[in-house]
Structure 1
Amino acid sequence: MNQIQENSHSTIPSEVLSRAKKEIGEDDERKDATLKIIKEWLKKQPHLSCSQDDRFFLMYARGCKYSIEKIKRKIDLCLTMRALLPEIFSGWDAMSPNIQNALKYGIMLPLPGFDHLGRKVFVYRMGCFPPEKVKVEDLEKASGMVAEVLAYEEPVIFITGVVVIVDFDGYTLSHLTHRPLSFMKKQAKYFQDAGPASPKSINFIRTPTAFNAVYNLVMGIFNDKMKQRVKVHGSDFESLYKEVPKALLPSDYGGQGPSFVQLTDSWKKKVEKNREFLLQQQKYVADESKRQGKPRTTEELFGIEGSFRKLTVD
């Protein structure tokens, strides 16, 4: 496969770049012009501390189909929400005991390769951990770190999209109470409104009775476009195979890919390898005291119910 160098760290296949030109109008001239405009705009936003890595800006440029105003809104919202969610986006030290403990469960696992439509598939395992042995905040920090590494290593996902499998195997009432609905609401809001990658398909599998509360919450938050992309397969793996090629799936699902144990070990090592990068990434947030105009609040963005305490992070 022909590879075109995006920068010193990542490559995008030439056929995917051709697809980007056709679907979102990307070419070198538009890309360079957009990067210049966004970087100039950021200089006038004293409240935003932002990575200057072109890959960050291109995530949003591609995810927003090169709409300049939408890119600005999304970057601002991303950094604002990250500042208001320290329970997810701070304490990103891969070698700290709490993160080491969380990583060993493999709650969020991107799968190797891409599906038949060029999309990245990842599995989010809601019941794979003992609730009494790990904090929900640590699990979400670890998941956020995995997602951050994936985003920078595989920029193709912002052109082709992602597919999410949410696996409820082992999910109990203890897991539901371990992760308050207010927490899940915040996660879903960030995922839908501030994340640069738009999921093309969200697949719920192995769903127990306790799943209903989660499903109702998520569907109450998602916009109409996202709702149409949700599929509930239950325990019907043949139904899942119609959405995600069997060959790509982990051996745990009857597929030909690596097992969950192998994937967990692989991603734990990858996060550890990127420790310094992740420590830097956690610093990129909004400072509401410097915002020109009215500061944005947790209540405004997430609703007043279930507001979280601010966590002390060392």
Structure 2
Amino acid sequence: MLSDLDTFPAIQLGDFTLKFEFDDLSPEMQEVARKELRETPERKKEALAELRELLKDETDLWIPIDNDAYLVKFLRPCKYYPKSACELIKRYYAFKQKHADIYEGLTPSKESNIFQQNILTVQPNKDQLGRRILIIELGKKWKHKQCSLDEVFKGCVLFLEAAMLEPMTQVAGAIVIFDMDGLTLQQTWQFTPAFAKRIVDWLQDAIPVRLKNIHIVNEPFIFNLVFNLFKPFLKDKLKSRIIFHGTDRKSLHQYINPECLTECYDGTLALPRITGSQWHQLLVMSDKEYEAINSYGYKKKVIH
């Protein structure tokens, strides 16, 4: 079940452990939660009670309403405003219903291809602010005839569904590095306005994650063709968090400490290259947790 967080396994990689972390917040992170998210024991108790009352009206929505950890996952990115958290929950599951072709039965064991491509990884370490680092390489490593953008999206969903459960990530948030080194014109043709809208809708409205920044690195000039597809759907908040660095590593280091980055980004972190297969091995062990996640949602057709 979703609440059995200790069932998520771990893999040792030298000095690093590849795992999802479900420990309680450290005192330092508790202070971040208090300052940035208005989190206190009293407010948490009040917000949980109010959110439960609001959700009782959502009779078409089946979720673990009595699970505190589940509800806190939505309260934290909404800074403990129960009405906002309730709306986020509704948008999250409405998005899943709208894109059922992506989400239906989505488990790691069914999505081995995206991980074998080695274009999607989460670093085992966090950045200097405790944020998860997701790296997506859609340039020369991406064989678009072997791996579709829908598969890339599914891989991102699998990572983020697990990261959403981490208390530290709920508070500190996550950052994404899009490495577009070697992007070709043929690859740009894989992107469509419909795909761009789905991604932006997901990021802006439908995930309970504090997405702090999206860093675009090594982008060639033709990347403008791709970004122009996304622009019409971007609201100011997300637009302001997308930062273009090109090959300027000093620019990237203004946001991410080089001690948190590997040599390929002029960082000093001695981290062995993590393969997609290693992450896949870890995620497949958690298939039953994803089945539990998939069991929640709207049980009837909901018109929005």
Fold agreement, TM-score > 0.5: yes
2-structure distance, mates of 1:31, 1:234:
42
How do 1:294-309 residues align onto structure 2 when only pairs under 5 Å count? 295-296=303-304
Unaligned runs of 5+ in 1: 1-6, 297-314
**Per-residue deviation at 1:164?**
1.7
* Matched residue type, 1:21: R
Q: In the alignment, which of 264, 271, 274 is matched to residue 258 of structure 1?
A: 271
Secondary structure of 1:178's counterpart equals coil
Relative to 1, partners in 2 of residues 1:74 and 1:239: Cα closer, same or farther, differing over 3 Å?
same
> What is the percentage of aligned positions where both structures have the same residue?
24
Is 1:18 paired with 2:31? yes
2-structure distance, mates of 1:106, 1:284:
30
Secondary structure of 1:38's counterpart equals helix
In structure 2, the residue matched to 1:305 is none
What CA deviation, in whole Å up to 9, does each residue of 1:102-124 have, x standing for no partner? 12124432222322233222212
Q: In the alignment, which of 106, 125, 141 is matched to residue 154 of structure 2?
A: 141
In structure 2, the residue matched to 1:208 is 220
* Matched residue type, 2:186: S
Is 1:67 paired with 2:92? no
2-structure distance, mates of 1:60, 1:248:
28
* Matched residue type, 1:36: A
2-structure distance, mates of 1:184, 1:87:
16
Is 1:196 paired with 2:200? no
Tell whether the 8 Å contact from 2:134 to 2:177 is kept in structure 1 after alignment: yes
1-structure distance, mates of 2:203, 2:213:
13
In structure 1, the residue matched to 2:11 is none
What CA deviation, in whole Å up to 9, does each residue of 1:173-193 have, x standing for no partner? 232222323112111111111
Q: In the alignment, which of 106, 116, 122 is matched to residue 110 of structure 1?
A: 122
Aligned residues: 282
Normalised by the size of structure 2, how large is the TM-score?
0.84
Relative to 1, partners in 2 of residues 1:85 and 1:38: Cα closer, same or farther, differing over 3 Å?
same
How do 1:1-314 residues align onto structure 2 when only pairs under 5 Å count? 9-52=22-65, 53-96=67-110, 99-127=111-139, 128-152=141-165, 154-255=166-267, 256-259=269-272, 261-289=273-301, 291=302, 295-296=303-304
Tell whether the 8 Å contact from 2:217 to 2:244 is kept in structure 1 after alignment: yes
Relative to 1, partners in 2 of residues 1:257 and 1:72: Cα closer, same or farther, differing over 3 Å?
farther
Secondary structure of 2:80's counterpart equals coil
Tell whether the 8 Å contact from 2:122 to 2:133 is kept in structure 1 after alignment: yes
Tell whether the 8 Å contact from 1:163 to 1:202 is kept in structure 2 after alignment: yes
Relative to 1, partners in 2 of residues 1:64 and 1:181: Cα closer, same or farther, differing over 3 Å?
same
Tell whether the 8 Å contact from 1:88 to 1:144 is kept in structure 2 after alignment: no
Tell whether the 8 Å contact from 2:262 to 2:270 is kept in structure 1 after alignment: yes
Relative to 1, partners in 2 of residues 1:24 and 1:94: Cα closer, same or farther, differing over 3 Å?
closer
2-structure distance, mates of 1:48, 1:250:
43
Tell whether the 8 Å contact from 2:37 to 2:77 is kept in structure 1 after alignment: no
Q: CA RMSD in A?
A: 2.2
What CA deviation, in whole Å up to 9, does each residue of 1:98-152 have, x standing for no partner? x111121244322223222332222122233211112332222122111111221
Normalised by the size of structure 1, how large is the TM-score?
0.82
Tell whether the 8 Å contact from 1:90 to 1:141 is kept in structure 2 after alignment: no
**Per-residue deviation at 1:257?**
4.7
**Per-residue deviation at 1:15?**
1.4
Tell whether the 8 Å contact from 2:54 to 2:83 is kept in structure 1 after alignment: no
**Per-residue deviation at 1:238?**
2.4
Relative to 1, partners in 2 of residues 1:108 and 1:192: Cα closer, same or farther, differing over 3 Å?
farther
